[in-house]
Amino acid sequence: MNAFSLQILTQELLQCAVTTSASLQKSLALESIAPLCQSLAYDLFHQTYQPGAYTRFAVNDPKLREIYAPLFRDRLAQCWLVSQIEPTVERQLIDDTFANRSGKGTLAAIHRVQRFMRQPQHGHFLQLDIQNFFNSIHLPTLVSMTTNGIMSSLPEHPRKACVMALLMRTILHPVAHHAVSLSGNKTLLDTIPCHKTLGASPYQTGLPLGSSASQLFANLYLSPLDHFIKHQLHVKGYVRYMDDLMLLGNSSQQLIEWREEISTFLTHTLRLTLHPTKQHLQRCSQGADYLGYKIYPHYLHLRTRNLNKIRRWLALFNYCLHPEGSPPPTKPDNPEWAACIQLAPITPDYVLLQKMQAVMNSYFGLMQKANHYRLRKKLYQYHFCHLKHWFIPANSDYTSVRIKKHALATWIGRQHGQ
């Protein structure tokens, strides 16, 4: 590489800064983004880059998880790394793996499962889950997978040395031993079982959940399993979303035999184990509880757990607006909403209404993809209650809600002291 290549590397990091998602760290770094990218480019160019400490916190939606967030500088480095190796990784993945891939996603995976369910040779399905997946990934095996692909795709490429050095430092960085717990509900971290934490994993085992690079590496790590299922077991009906596996076949006995073969392959090749209780074998006509939906061959229902969540959100918002006669809702993990409960009743400003709208429309969007017109209508009619003063359906199909015009006019009037 030469000076011009270093300049290109800086420009690519600046582009990564544009494409990374919004965060507090990104907002704080905006004023010094140019020197930050120049400094990072210098370290990557000279292969002196060292990852910083991750921030460790817990989330409880959809289930209790331990999350590790890298510093913004490290996010930029990982974003650049992903942009360099993603084409190589994509060539190794089968078409029927759907997590964290452009043009894929949960809805595409659901439609693929439905298509398989409608085929006459697929009367049964088997759902499998890998136990403690991210914390069980064997890092030397992962390094071998990634470096072999890069060696073949970038044999004489001028970026090869930078990519390889960054790859090794990102994968082998002992994240759990260089992490701080500065944000989120710290007491929630204490409720995570020890065996579910990255710090309890054996030496050189486990990827931190919470970065784009980890998602890409985890997807690649299960690629040998995909090829084994498709090309050695010859399973025609197969869908994977990260470590959630869905196999479809013509008999329960066939699926049981495949499960034993998969379990053996995982143990001996990838050092992984199937979750002993998260295995479901039944007829397609009974529906599959998969990726947030109850999937049937010809229609979808939103999972009951998600329906209960939106009802809880609506109850929380209604209590914040008008607590009289309503029991206090469960205190949420989010400190902003917890504060709203303490201050109830509140007269929401326009910014808070927008946050409420975002939460509600995220669930209305999920319901829009399923067969839930009557449910969307019933939620607005019977569960919005005091929210109806501020929100109205966006259309006759109840696909989303919008803020009433008087709320914006009132907020503008307050801003101008009227």
Quote the pLDDT of residue 177: 85
Are the C-beta atoms of residues 284 and 248 closer than 8 Å to each other? Answer: yes
- In Å, what is the CA distance from 353 to each residue of 52, 199, 380? 37, 40, 16
Quote the pLDDT of residue 357: 95
Quote the pLDDT of residue 184: 61
Residue ranges per structural domain of the chain: 6-296, 303-416
Quote the pLDDT of residue 1: 41
Quote the pLDDT of residue 344: 87
Q: Which residues contact 127 (CB under 8 A, 6 or more apart)?
A: 244, 245, 246, 278, 279, 280, 281, 288, 289, 290
CATH code given to domain 6-296: 3.90.1850.10
Query: Exposed (0-12), middle (13-18) or buried (19+): which is 298, by Cβ within 10 Å?
Result: exposed
Summarised one tens digit per residue, pLDDT across range 385-403 is 999 999 999 999 999 999 9
- Averaged pLDDT, 212-224: 95
- Most confidently predicted of 146-150, 198-202, 347-351, 408-412: 198-202
Quote the pLDDT of residue 272: 97
Are the C-beta atoms of residues 251 and 124 closer than 8 Å to each other? Answer: yes
H/E element holding 19? Answer: helix 3-19
Summarised one tens digit per residue, pLDDT across range 233-261 is 999 999 999 999 999 999 999 999 999 99
Summarised one tens digit per residue, pLDDT across range 47-86 is 999 999 998 988 876 788 899 999 999 999 999 999 989 9
Neighbours of 418 (CB within 10 A): 8
Calpha distance 305→188 (Å, rounded):
21
